[in-house]
Structure 1
């Protein structure tokens, strides 16, 4: 762009230079014409034109009649030349405006491309930051899950299995409320894991790329906003680590009926991400009343496309 500017200035200076030359030519020609007319008069008429009023009048008529058409013609030529130069100047101006518009258009296009690149980079950076935290939390989740799912002694049950047996096999609980009371008494064993899982789901809901739920994690937004593809993908990754036993215990842990309950948002997240989709309703190949009650305790979306339920 900088290489073209001197050419534009040179082109713009040409009409001005031509105008100056034209003025000098007209002045010179006019002067010559005047001189020739005067010379012609005095060479043919030796008498002084000012010897009498009649002679002065004749002299004026001669000069006016001779010079006026010639000078008018020269003025017309100068005018036409000036119009031509002005036309060329206007054309150059239009060309410069066209070039300016093209440069501005290219500049705007370049700025738009730059904006798209920056937006893409910002989006990529945001996703990288999200995934860095997500996988860090997922690692903590898996460690917490492993801690309660692995038995230090092969002759003993794991913590999850012991709690599972106490709830479903060694007790006669017939409803979710009583089962949850019993599970809460085991909070010192499995409470840490359920809290880590809640924080992980909360992080996905608030920070997944494109999420509009917001840091306040309002219950109505959890229920009403669409589940984004990103949310579904990351929540499915988390869900894939949960076995049948822990999923059934999770259904008991998050059970509540009051919107003011501390577990209410946890329950909504379980429903939002269909965390009970792969939960069977049987214990030892037989249906269990506690698990059957979850069909009514949770919204349908909590079970997703479950193969274990027909509603």
Structure 2
């Protein structure tokens, strides 16, 4: 075993052995020098200061270099051992830090998973309520309505009437608020919940008009809103466009309008009624921002009423 390997294998126990050997060698050398001196100058103890000074110079001159060398060796061995212990401590701290980072990452992932699960539990519960409300107004009723649904009746009332503008159409729709208003309120709450609670969303609980209009649309936010939109029929989408009409930002429907634009809820809405472009539906292009109509905005030739 070479010197480097011996130093690598140095432990506190082996260091004590080395120090004991060094102390033993130093003691032996001191005894040897003292014995040699007494053997050479055996005239007994002198009363002269000069003789004692000569004795001290002899012992010091002989042993000081050797003791200094042995002390240096002991110091170097101690430094080597301390360096090894510091290195071991550093490695252990790095391992602890790495383990802590992994633990924190696992806890964060677990927390994100739990947050997503909590969101989805509430979301799908709201979606179920939404679908029930939509089914209620979309299912054909009794014989007195000639087998038509509430949605058909309200849609016919709004788009067959002589309404000059969107405000008149909105007024006509609100006359049926007792039978279809509940559905639009449920839809609004579902979209609001997505905007304010989706895990990676940016709207937040503040839910201000500025954040709805300007904050970045998160991928999961778009995904959940698309799920909701997929349940709406063309008829429901057309009435939704009328329902969310409002005069200005102070109107209580303004946030609803911003959500419709944010999630492109009118992307597949046909602008036709009874096979013809309807002036009210066409005029929604001027009221809503273009992003409300998504990628298929204003393409009406292949759409069906």
* TM-score (structure 1 length as normaliser): 0.85
Q: Distance in 2 between matches of 1:108 and 1:156?
A: 70
- Counterpart for residue 203 of structure 1: 193
The 5-angstrom pairing of residues 62-101 of structure 1 reads: 64=54, 68-69=57-58, 71-101=60-90
Q: Relative to 1, partners in 2 of residues 1:80 and 1:271: Cα closer, same or farther, differing over 3 Å?
A: same
1:118 to 81, 104, 107: 107
The answer as to whether partners of 2:202 and 2:216 remain within 8 angstroms in 1 is no
Helix, strand or coil: the match of 2:141?
A: coil
Q: Distance in 2 between matches of 1:31 and 1:212?
A: 84
Helix, strand or coil: the match of 1:304?
A: helix
The 5-angstrom pairing of residues 150-161 of structure 1 reads: 150-153=139-142, 155-161=146-152
Coordinate RMSD, CA, aligned = 2.6
Alpha-carbon distance, 1:27 to partner? 3.7
Q: Distance in 2 between matches of 1:234 and 1:41?
A: 105
The answer as to whether partners of 2:170 and 2:242 remain within 8 angstroms in 1 is yes
Per-residue CA deviation, residues 240-271 of structure 1 (Å, 9 max, x unaligned), is 00111111000000001210101000011001
Per-residue CA deviation, residues 61-83 of structure 1 (Å, 9 max, x unaligned), is 9x937x74455222321210110
Q: Distance in 2 between matches of 1:227 and 1:124?
A: 21
- Counterpart for residue 242 of structure 2: 252
Q: Distance in 2 between matches of 1:29 and 1:101?
A: 40
Per-residue CA deviation, residues 100-155 of structure 1 (Å, 9 max, x unaligned), is 11111111111111111111111111111101100000000000000000023374
Alpha-carbon distance, 1:285 to partner? 0.9
- Counterpart for residue 98 of structure 2: 109
- The answer as to 2:232 corresponding to 1:242 is yes
Per-residue CA deviation, residues 137-174 of structure 1 (Å, 9 max, x unaligned), is 000000000000002337421100011111112x1113
Extract unaligned runs of 5+ from structure 2.
Answer: 1-7, 301-305
Helix, strand or coil: the match of 2:189?
A: helix
Helix, strand or coil: the match of 2:156?
A: helix
The answer as to whether partners of 2:22 and 2:74 remain within 8 angstroms in 1 is no
The 5-angstrom pairing of residues 274-289 of structure 1 reads: 274-289=264-279
The answer as to whether partners of 2:196 and 2:204 remain within 8 angstroms in 1 is yes
The answer as to whether partners of 1:176 and 1:290 remain within 8 angstroms in 2 is yes
Extract unaligned runs of 5+ from structure 1.
Answer: 1-7
Which structure is larger by alpha-carbon Rg, 1 or 2?
A: 1
The answer as to whether partners of 1:222 and 1:268 remain within 8 angstroms in 2 is yes
Q: Distance in 1 between matches of 2:19 and 2:63?
A: 14
- The answer as to 2:240 corresponding to 1:226 is no
The answer as to whether partners of 1:248 and 1:291 remain within 8 angstroms in 2 is yes
Q: Distance in 2 between matches of 1:17 and 1:60?
A: 38
Q: Relative to 1, partners in 2 of residues 1:198 and 1:35: Cα closer, same or farther, differing over 3 Å?
A: same
Aligned length: 290
The answer as to whether partners of 1:30 and 1:71 remain within 8 angstroms in 2 is no
Q: Distance in 2 between matches of 1:183 and 1:193?
A: 13
Q: Relative to 1, partners in 2 of residues 1:49 and 1:103: Cα closer, same or farther, differing over 3 Å?
A: closer
* TM-score (structure 2 length as normaliser): 0.87
The 5-angstrom pairing of residues 1-311 of structure 1 reads: 11-42=11-42, 60=51, 64=54, 68-69=57-58, 71-153=60-142, 155-169=146-160, 171-306=161-296, 308-309=298-299
The answer as to whether partners of 1:278 and 1:308 remain within 8 angstroms in 2 is no
